[in-house]
Each structure stands twice: as C-alpha cells, then as structure tokens.
C-alpha cells in the first residue's frame, strides 16, 4: 500500500489504524459526494447540542419533564429567532437530500414537510 510506504516509518500506529479500518471505510466511498459531505459534517449538530447543554446547565433543575422540554425547545428556537434560517438550511441541503432520496428510494421524500 502506497500510504504505508510513505508514512509507515514515521507513523506506524496511524498506518495500522488505517489498515484495520479500511474494510469499514470502503463502503463509505460508494456514497455520492453530497452524502459523504453530510456524514462528515458534524459541526452543525455539535453546535445545537452545545446550545442545548448550555441552556439546561443554566437552568439547573426542572420541576417536571414538561419544563425540561420547554427549555430545550426554547434553546432550539433561539438558534433561528427570525425564522429565515430554514430557507438557508434547505438550500444548502438540497443536493444532499436529493442524493439521499435516490440512494434510499422509498425511505425519504425531500419534498415532504
């Protein structure tokens, strides 16, 4: 393997890790570029999780489950207070949603609300 020849001497652990994970990685390459981009992009998800954690931590305790759900709802709604973010999100994800609809036909309908 060319990768091992170039980097094996300097980073043997990385080469071994790469070779061990190769069987799991190869199926990933069969997806469209748009799908791979979505799978690798976790920044948006981590950002939402961080905002929810911050809101819950600031509140501390909740008297009941409804209060906790309201706190999470308000944290999520504060991410897009004007309501215009959905249009940007849909525009950025249009190619990926179409690729998912083709790849997983019958399991996803990108035009459904």
Assigned domain for 11 exists = yes
Is residue 112 pLDDT above 70, yes or no?
A: no
pTM of the full structure = 0.47
Assigned domain for 1 exists = yes
Specify the range with the lowest mean pLDDT, choosing from 2-6, 7-11, 27-31, 109-113: 109-113
Q: What sign results for the dihedral spanned by CA atoms 94, 98, 101, 103?
A: negative
Is residue 82 pLDDT above 70, yes or no?
A: yes
Assigned domain for 98 exists = no
Based on the structure, what is the number of domains in the chain? 1
Assigned domain for 97 exists = no
For residue 103, the tally of other CB atoms under 10 A from its CB is: 14
Assigned domain for 17 exists = yes
* pLDDT top residue among 40 and 14: 14
- Per the structure, the complete domain to which residue 24 belongs is given by 1-30
pLDDT at 47: 82
Assigned domain for 10 exists = yes
pLDDT at 81: 77
Assigned domain for 8 exists = yes
DSSP state of 107: T
Mean pLDDT score of the chain: 83
């Amino acid at each position: 393997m060319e990768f091992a020849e170039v980097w094996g001497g300097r980073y043997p652990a990385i080469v071994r890790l790469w070779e061990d994970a190769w069987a799991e990685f190869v199926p990933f390459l069969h997806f469209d570029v748009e799908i791979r981009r979505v799978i690798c992009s976790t920044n948006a998800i981590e950002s939402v999780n961080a905002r929810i954690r911050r809101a819950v931590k600031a509140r501390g305790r909740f008297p009941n489950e409804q209060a906790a759900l309201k706190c999470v709802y308000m944290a999520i709604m504060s991410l897009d207070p004007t309501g215009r973010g959905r249009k940007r999100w849909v525009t950025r994800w249009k190619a990926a949603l179409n690729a998912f609809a083709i790849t997983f036909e019958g399991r996803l309908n990108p035009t459904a609300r």
